[in-house]
Amino acid sequence: MKHLLGICDLSAQEIKTILDHAQMYADGLSSGDYDAQKHKGKIILHLFFENSTRTLTSFEMAAKRLGAEVINWNRETSSLKKGESFMDTIDTLNAMRPDTIVLRHSEYGAPNYIAKRMDCSVINGGDSWREHPTQALLDALTMRQHFGKLDGLTVAIVGDIAHSRVASSNMGLLTKMGANVRVIAPLELMPEKLAAEGVDKFTDLNEGLSGADVVMSIRPQKERMDKVLIHDAAYFNDYGLTHERLAHAKKEAIVLDPGPFIRGLQISDELAEDKTRFLYAPQVANGIPTRMAVLDLLLEG
Ligand code: NCD
């Protein structure tokens, strides 16, 4: 594996290899027994053209937990502001020979474009509504830790399916790994064509939740909408997750959210505070071993 650009490029076996490697790092981080200097001397360049809290910080922690150095390139202080083109910025940074680049960009397929121009590995930290592969991997790791498997799980993805790269990558990964996947959204947020075959569409929340093991909430991505597509109070009323709504899913169902999550729009305060059902904190924590695994596999490759 030279790059990680999307789940669409990975086989089920490759996904399993990454998840096994991530689990090894998850165990190592809790016991303290792993090689914390494995990639000493390596330099990872973070090129984030969009805002990020979880993804950027956990990539940085992952690199540092492996002994690597990180440079967080800053769009605001860069020469892009002086009129340099994106392509020339990329060629300039490539000439400095980083060991890996992590890119987040609003353009569809931007990581594939820069992977062709770079000599080093490129990791997609999220592009447009297309793919966010490390998020889907850490979500899968969280589900696998909780249920011991992915095969046969019923996963209901609720929210802005049309504009979400997290929903796209999760549909791709989970169907490849044998899960039953559904998406639940109002028609305005439901794309005509889904990112994966074999995914069922629901517009009614209670129907879509019925029999689900995992409920994954996806934020309405207002910054990607060119007009008002939802009204907050009506959205919460029809698609907001509460304990009452969750009772339609399996008794032991868990709720995940890639974050940032919006209380009172996507999820009630009570459910957001219920650590037995809403596994957001372990999900965020899994970002680090997952990204350590991806960095390790690419730096070694
Ligand atoms: C998401 C993203 O930016 O794609 N967040 C994340 O990376 N964990 C989802 C979002 O912004 O809603």
The tokens describing 262, both together, are: 């919006």
Give the DSSP H or E segment for 171: helix 165-176
- pLDDT tens profile 31-55: 999 999 999 999 999 999 998 999 9
Distance from the alpha carbon of residue 182 to the mean position of ligand 1, in angstroms: 20
pLDDT grade for 272, boundaries at 50, 70 and 90: very high
Q: Ligand 1: residues within 6 Å at CB? A: 54-55, 126, 132, 135, 165-166, 219, 221, 258-260
Q: Which atom of ligand 1 is nearest to the CA of 125?
A: 7
* 301: pLDDT strictly greater than 80: no
pLDDT grade for 63, boundaries at 50, 70 and 90: very high
Q: Which atom of ligand 1 is nearest to the CA of 165?
A: 4
97: left (phi over 0), alpha (psi -120 to 50) or beta: left
Please report the pLDDT score of residue 75 as a whole number: 84
Radius of gyration, alpha carbons of the chain? 19
- pLDDT tens profile 73-95: 988 888 888 889 999 999 999 99
Give the residue-averaged pLDDT of 161-170: 98
Please report the pLDDT score of residue 226 as a whole number: 86
Please report the pLDDT score of residue 77 as a whole number: 83
Q: pLDDT > 70: what percent of the chain?
A: 100
Distance from the alpha carbon of residue 95 to the mean position of ligand 1, in angstroms: 30
Under 8 Å CB-to-CB from 30, ≥6 apart: which residues?
none
Mean pLDDT of the chain: 96
* 164: pLDDT strictly greater than 90: yes
Give the DSSP H or E segment for 141: helix 133-147
How far apart are alpha carbons 196 and 175 in whole angstroms? Answer: 7
- pLDDT tens profile 208-245: 999 999 999 999 999 889 888 899 999 999 999 999 99
Own/partner contacts of 276-282, CB < 8 Å, gap of 24 or more, are 277/243, 277/246, 277/253, 278/254, 279/142, 279/146, 279/254, 279/255, 280/255, 280/256, 282/142, 282/145
Q: What is the pTM of this model?
A: 0.97
Please report the pLDDT score of residue 140 as a whole number: 99
Please report the pLDDT score of residue 22 as a whole number: 98
